[in-house]
C-alpha cells in the first residue's frame, strides 16, 4: 500500500515536471532537434551544404511569407503545394533539376512541426572541431625516413677498405724505416692482391675449408630461394605481400568496426569465379553521406569522389571520372583456375580460411602462400560439406554405396577428385 502510494506520487511529480518543461522552453528545442535528426537530416543539412536536398541555412529568409505556415504546408505535403501552383515551390523543383523527390510528412503533428520549424530557423552553431580531426591522421601517414641497410653495409665496406689501404701504407713505411735502421734492404711494396696470394699460399687448408663452406652455404641458400620464387609469402616469418594501396582503405574499419559483410562490397563472390573489386558506386552508397573519416578526415574519401566524379558541394556527379587503380594482392598464375563461388557457396568456406582475418587488417596482407602445395594440403584434410548440401545429394549417395566400409563415410576433397590435375589446370 505504501509502495503504491509513493509510486503514484512519483509518477505525478514526474508528470508535473514534464509538463512544466514541455510548456516552457527545454523540450521544444530538443524535440525539434530530435525530429530533424530522425526525419530530415537524411537529406538536408543545416548549413549551405547540399545533400540529397538543399541545405537549410537561412531558409526562413527564402520561403514566401508567412514563413511558418508555408513551411508547415510544404513539409506536410510538398506535392500539394506544388500542385497549388505556388511560384516559389515551382522554382524549387526547377532548381533541383526538375525533380521533386521530397517525401511527405503527414504523420508529423502540428506541435512537432512547430518545434521542427523553430529548430530549423535557429539551429545551434555547428561544431568546429570536426574539421580538426584530419590533423592527427596526417602525422600517422608520415613515413619513417631510413636508409636501406644494404647501402649502410656497402658504405662500411668502402670506409674499411680506405682505412685498410692507409694502414697498409703506414705499416710498409714503418717496416722500411725499421729496415733502414737495421741496415737491411728496403722491401718492395706488394700490391694487395699479391699479399692475399701470399697469405693463401701459406694457408691452403684453411682456405680450402672456407671455400667448401661458402659453396655449400651458397647452394643451400639457393635451394631455399627456389622455394620462395614466385611466392608472395615468406614461409618462415609468415609475412606476406602487403602493398600500399592508392586509397588508405581500412578493412578493419569497414568490415571489423562497422560490421559490414564482406559480400556487400565483394558481391560477386557467391555468383562468379571472382570475388570482385567493388565498383565506385558501391563506395558511394555510404560515402555520399559519410564525407569525413575517423583517421584521415576528408583526404582519403575525397579520392572516391575524384574517382566517381562526385561533387560534394552540389551533391551531383558532374566531375570527370577516373578509375581507382587498386593493387592486386592475392594473385594466382594464369594457368591456375580458381572459382570463388564454388568454394564459398558449395564448399561453404569462410573468407578468412584463405584470406586470413581481414577484419583486423588495416592494409590487406596476403596471409597464406597460395601455392599448389598449400591448395593440396587443404584439399587433403578438408571434409566435403555434404550434409544438407543439395549440390552433393546424388554424389553423396553414390559415394556411400561405392566406398561402403572403406572410408568411414568421411569424404575429404581429394576423394572426390580434388587432386585431379585438370580440376585446376586446363
Partner 1 sequence: MNLSYKNLKLVACGTFAVMLVAGFTSCGKKDANSPGFEFMPDMYRSPSVEYYGTHVINGDTLNNAMLPVAGTIARGFMPYVYPNTVDGYEQAGLYLKNPIVYSEAVEKEGEVIYGKFCVHCHGATGAGDGKVGAKLPGPPPAYNGPLKNLPEGKIFHSITYGKNSMGSHASQLTQEERWKLVYYVQKLQGPKTVATDSTKTAAPADSTKH
Instruction: Tell me which residues touch partner 1 (CB under 8 A).
Output: 37-43, 45, 51-52, 79, 99-101, 103, 107, 214-215, 217-219, 221-222, 224-226, 228-232, 234, 237, 239, 241-244, 257-261, 263-264, 267, 274, 277, 279, 281-282, 284-286, 288-290, 323, 325-326, 328, 331, 333-335, 365
Smaller CB separation from partner 1, 295 or 412: 295
d(CA 363, CA 383) in angstroms, rounded, equals: 32
Smaller CB separation from partner 1, 6 or 109: 109
CB atoms within 10 A of CB 332: 13
Smaller CB separation from partner 1, 263 or 349: 263
Smaller CB separation from partner 1, 128 or 225: 225
Smaller CB separation from partner 1, 176 or 245: 245
Q: CB neighbours of 96 closer than 8 A, spacing ≥ 6?
A: 53, 54
Residue of 227, 237, 240 lying closest to 373 (CA atoms): 227
Smaller CB separation from partner 1, 49 or 176: 49
Shortest distance (Å) from residue 327 CB to partner 1: 8
**Cβ–Cβ under 8 Å, residues 314 and 50:** yes
Q: β-strand 233-234 against 316-317: which pairing, if any?
A: unpaired
CA dist 82 → 77, 78, 86, 97 (Å): 9, 6, 6, 15
d(CA 89, CA 78) in angstroms, rounded, equals: 8
Burial group, residue 242, by CB count within 10 angstroms (0-12, 13-18, 19+): middle
Q: Interhelix angle for 67-76 vs 110-121, to 10°?
A: 120
Shortest distance (Å) from residue 289 CB to partner 1: 4
Shortest distance (Å) from residue 285 CB to partner 1: 3
Smaller CB separation from partner 1, 375 or 413: 375
Residue of 193, 296, 184, 204 lying closest to 248 (CA atoms): 296
Smaller CB separation from partner 1, 145 or 333: 333
Shortest distance (Å) from residue 169 CB to partner 1: 30
Smaller CB separation from partner 1, 274 or 400: 274
Shortest distance (Å) from residue 77 CB to partner 1: 13
Amino acid at each position: 500500500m505504501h509502495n503504491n502510494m509513493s509510486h503514484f506520487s512519483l509518477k505525478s511529480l514526474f508528470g508535473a515536471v514534464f509538463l512544466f518543461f514541455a510548456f516552457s522552453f527545454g523540450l521544444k528545442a530538443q524535440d525539434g532537434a530530435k525530429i530533424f535528426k530522425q526525419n530530415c537530416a537524411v537529406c538536408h543539412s543545416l548549413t549551405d551544404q547540399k545533400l540529397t536536398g538543399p541545405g537549410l541555412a537561412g531558409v526562413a529568409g527564402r520561403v514566401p511569407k508567412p514563413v511558418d505556415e508555408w513551411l508547415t504546408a510544404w513539409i506536410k505535403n510538398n506535392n500539394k503545394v506544388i500542385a497549388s501552383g505556388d511560384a516559389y515551390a515551382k522554382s524549387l523543383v526547377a532548381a533541383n533539376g526538375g525533380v521533386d523527390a521530397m517525401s511527405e510528412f503527414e504523420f508529423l503533428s502540428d506541435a512537432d512541426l512547430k518545434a521542427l520549424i523553430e529548430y530549423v530557423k535557429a539551429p545551434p552553431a555547428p561544431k568546429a572541431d570536426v574539421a580538426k580531426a584530419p590533423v592527427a591522421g596526417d602525422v600517422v601517414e608520415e613515413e619513417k625516413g631510413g636508409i636501406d641497410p644494404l647501402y649502410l653495409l656497402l658504405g662500411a665496406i668502402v670506409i674499411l677498405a680506405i682505412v685498410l689501404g692507409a694502414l697498409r701504407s703506414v705499416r710498409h713505411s714503418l717496416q722500411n724505416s725499421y729496415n733502414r735502421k737495421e741496415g737491411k734492404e728496403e722491401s718492395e711494396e706488394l700490391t694487395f692482391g699479391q699479399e692475399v696470394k701470399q697469405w693463401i699460399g701459406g694457408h691452403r687448408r684453411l682456405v680450402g675449408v672456407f671455400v667448401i663452406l661458402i659453396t655449400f652455404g651458397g647452394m643451400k641458400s639457393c635451394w631455399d630461394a627456389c622455394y620462395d620464387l614466385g611466392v608472395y609469402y615468406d614461409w618462415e616469418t609468415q609475412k606476406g605481400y602487403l602493398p600500399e594501396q592508392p586509397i588508405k582503405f581500412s578493412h578493419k574499419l569497414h568490415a571489423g568496426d562497422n560490421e559490414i559483410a564482406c559480400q556487400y562490397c565483394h558481391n560477386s563472390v557467391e555468383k562468379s569465379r571472382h570475388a570482385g573489386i567493388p565498383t565506385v558506386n558501391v563506395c558511394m552508397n555510404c560515402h555520399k553521406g559519410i564525407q569525413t573519416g575517423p583517421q584521415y578526415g576528408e583526404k582519403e574519401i575525397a579520392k572516391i569522389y575524384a574517382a566517381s566524379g562526385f561533387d560534394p558541394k552540389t551533391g551531383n556527379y558532374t566531375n570527370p571520372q577516373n578509375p581507382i587503380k587498386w593493387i592486386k594482392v592475392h594473385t594466382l598464375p594464369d594457368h591456375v583456375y580458381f572459382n570463388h563461388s564454388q568454394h564459398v557457396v558449395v564448399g561453404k568456406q569462410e573468407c578468412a580460411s584463405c584470406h586470413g582475418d581481414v577484419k583486423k587488417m588495416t592494409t590487406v596482407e596476403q596471409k597464406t602462400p597460395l601455392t599448389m602445395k598449400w591448395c593440396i594440403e587443404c584439399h587433403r584434410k578438408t571434409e566435403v560439406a555434404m550434409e544438407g548440401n543439395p549440390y552433393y545429394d546424388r554424389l553423396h549417395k553414390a559415394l556411400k554405396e561405392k566406398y561402403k566400409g572403406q572410408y568411414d563415410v568421411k569424404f575429404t576433397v581429394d576423394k572426390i577428385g580434388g587432386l585431379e590435375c585438370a580440376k585446376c589446370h586446363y
